Amino acid sequence: MNIRFISLIAVIFTVSISSVAHDGHSHSDDGKSKEWMIKILSTAAPSFIGNKASVATYDGKILREGTNGWTCSPGRPMPKGGYKDAQDTNASCADIEGFKWVEAYVNGTKPDMNRDAYIWMLHGDVGEDNRVSSLYGGNKEDAMKMNHFIESGPHLMLMPKDPKTVENFTTDFTTGEPYQMFKGTPYAHLMIPFEGYYMFQPEAAPK
């Protein structure tokens, strides 16, 4: 679950609470056309959310205006040759409360939310160090050695208004059950794996 969604912060100031669709891991010849971007980014959430959400680029350019208060965007800048596939976009979809969580994370402040928030990442992510020490930049090699690195497949994240509500969940991502990430910090949240969660890192799947 790479949660470094800098792009979502740009979106929140660009479209305010404006908000785009879900098909799965589609691929394109170029990985950068507007049509491809809209299709891939919007499908980071289920169709009943993504089809009506806004779609934005990493730097906040609106590709499609939405109507339901959700926005889908990449979690990383577009490479020079375009994104290689859906996973490579690190795409996520969130509403205004989700943006508040992300803004706080990026700025190193305590999230101030009106309620819990959910962030969808149905294309998975490019990997994250689950340790508290990984906030704002963990080392993949060290994390791999210590079995803390997870390259996630499809999942949903619960960003709690009060992190204490998830503090009793395990931090073990190899069980298949929802697990806590960034335990002991204001950014503790719950990772909820879906079918295919271990597709990118099968060695981490439950034995």
pLDDT at 65 over 60: yes
Burial of 93 by CB count in 10 Å (0-12 exposed, 13-18 middle, 19+ buried)?
Answer: buried
Question: SS3 string of 27-93?
Answer: CCCCCCCHHHHHHHHHCCCCHHHHCCCEEECCCCCEEECCCCCCEEECCCCCCCCCCCCHHHHCCEE
Q: Note the pLDDT of residue 148.
A: 60
Which is more confident, 196 or 12?
196
CA torsion through residues 4, 8, 13, 17, sign: negative
Q: Which of 24-28, 148-152, 166-170 has the lowest mean pLDDT?
A: 24-28
Q: Note the pLDDT of residue 10.
A: 41
- Interacting residues of 94 by C-beta distance below 8 A, sequence separation 6+: 5, 8, 70, 71, 101, 102, 117, 118, 119, 120
pLDDT at 73 over 50: yes
Q: Note the pLDDT of residue 50.
A: 98
Torsion angle of C-alpha atoms 40, 42, 44, 45, degrees rounded to 10: -150
* Single-letter amino acid code for the residue at 207: K
Q: Note the pLDDT of residue 124.
A: 96
What mean pLDDT is reported for the chain?
Answer: 82
pLDDT tens digits, 166-192:
999 999 999 999 999 989 899 999 999
Tell me if the pTM is above 0.75: yes
Rounded to whole angstroms, how far apart are CA atoms 32 and 78?
Answer: 8
Question: What are the Cα distances from residue 171, in Å, to 76, 87, 140, 200?
Answer: 25, 23, 17, 19
Q: Note the pLDDT of residue 81.
A: 87
Give the confidence band of 128 by pLDDT, cuts at 50, 70, 90: confident
Count of residues making up the chain? 207
pLDDT at 18 over 70: no
**Within 13 A of 63's CA, how many CA atoms are on the CB side?**
24
Q: Note the pLDDT of residue 31.
A: 66
Q: Note the pLDDT of residue 32.
A: 77
Nearest Cα to Cα of residue 37 among 74, 79, 77, 9: 74
